[in-house]
A = this chain, B = another copy of it.
Amino acid sequence: MSTKSPRTDPRVLRTRQLIRNAFIDLLQEIDLEKITVNRIAERATINRVTFYLHYRDIPDMMEKMADDMINAIVAIFEDVQRQSRVDFERFVLGSVLEHIAENSNFYKVLLASKRIPIFSDRLMQLMVDVISSRAENRDASLSGSVVSVPKDIAIWYGSSAFIGTIVFWLRNDMPYTPNFLANQLSLLFRLHQNTTSS
């Protein structure tokens, strides 16, 4: 999910992978509050002290994992952006949802399971940024809608709807294909994206 440029010691990669897997593993069995460094080390078959060589504590570990998640998604964004320019929104959305579906084990636990808001918070922030910048670009071209909602409210509304729907989708074991959901989302989104006032 993340690869450093100046070749990292394979032992480090191995250890981080073990910790990550152990953490996701444990989250499927017990609540976050009950997860300790002790248990993670035990499950990962590493020494407890080794954990502290990589992360300050468990919250720090989760933050770094969230960083990796965001980086992976941003990479998809840039990748799609490089390829095509037509029907961008729906295509990038479909790609991201496919990525989530492919790593559903990871996302189901870290994004959809309750009591771990860091990951969905990060995604939400990313979505706000994306929608905001896109809204700015469209700003000049559009004027005089029938209804006008303050721009920030519309951004809050759309971002929350997007992320929330994806979370529900994961929690319900992805009952729709990524592409179908992407279509529905862009359909719903377009209904209110043109109602903003600056």
User: What residues of chain A have their CB less than 8 Å away from a CB belonging to chain B?
Assistant: 31, 33, 58-59, 114-118, 121, 124, 147, 149-150, 152-154, 156-165, 167-169, 172, 175-176, 181, 184-185, 187-188, 191-192, 195
A-B pairs, 3 with minimum CB distance: A160-B164, A161-B161, A156-B168
B59/A154 in contact, CB under 8 A:
no
User: Which chain B residues lie closer than 8 Å to A156 at the CB level?
Assistant: 164-165, 168-169
Main secondary structure of the interface of A (DSSP, over half): helix
Counting every copy of the chain, the complex holds 2
Contacts known (A157-B161, A160-B164); A187 close to B150, Cβ less than 8 A: no
A192/B188 in contact, CB under 8 A:
yes
Contacts known (A114-B118, A117-B114, A121-B114); A184 close to B33, Cβ less than 8 A: no
User: Which chain B residues lie closer than 8 Å to A31 at the CB level?
Assistant: 59
The docked-state distance in angstroms from the alpha carbon of A187 to that of B195 is 10
